[in-house]
Amino acid sequence: MEEFDEVLLRVVDKTIRYVFGDINAGIIYDHLGKSGCPMHEIPTKPNQFSVELRKILGSGRGQLLGAAPILEETILEALCAELKIKFDMQSATCFAHRIKKLRRVYDENGGPHVWPILKDAQPSPDTNVIPEDRR
């Protein structure tokens, strides 16, 4: 398993357990497994993971806010913090697309703690920044 995948799984698990507790996390993982997206396949099936989360938690339709998009944002923020990548979360792209972009930046820059050279400015040494042309 690639390092990015290990970090992603660790962040997903930590976030879900923190938000829902161990018992409910187990129920979520059980549902994911029965739906063809066991936990160890989340890195290769981020879209299916997102779809299944929305089935369990709701996506916001008919609700003020759906829990699944909020959980996905929390996972993405924690993943960026873990990888030391600054990433604009304001874009309306889907969870799977953002995971793909983060993986690409991670792979292109040799993993964590390495940051790309920017045209006009450089980030602090402990932060990666995804340039506009890579978003």
Residue 132 has a pLDDT of 43
Residue 78 falls inside a structural domain:
yes
Residue 135 falls inside a structural domain:
no
Residue 20 has a pLDDT of 94
Residue 24 falls inside a structural domain:
yes
Residue 118 falls inside a structural domain:
yes
| Amino acid type, 131 | P
Q: Residue 27: which pLDDT band, with cuts at 50, 70 and 90?
A: very high
Residue 114 falls inside a structural domain:
yes
**Structural domain range at position 60:** 3-130
Q: Report how far residue 19's alpha carbon sits from residue 12's, in angstroms, rounded to the nearest whole number.
A: 11
Rg, the chain, Cα only: 15
List the CATH number of the domain containing 92: 1.10.1200.200
What is the maximal distance between C-alpha atoms in the chain?
A: 49
Q: Report how far residue 113's alpha carbon sits from residue 83's, in angstroms, rounded to the nearest whole number.
A: 7
User: Which one has a higher pLDDT value, 38 or 86?
Assistant: 38
Q: Report how many domains make up the chain.
A: 1
Q: Which residues contact 34 (CB under 8 A, 6 or more apart)?
A: none
State pLDDT tens for residues 73-125. Answer: 999 999 999 988 877 666 657 899 999 989 988 888 776 654 443 233 333 34
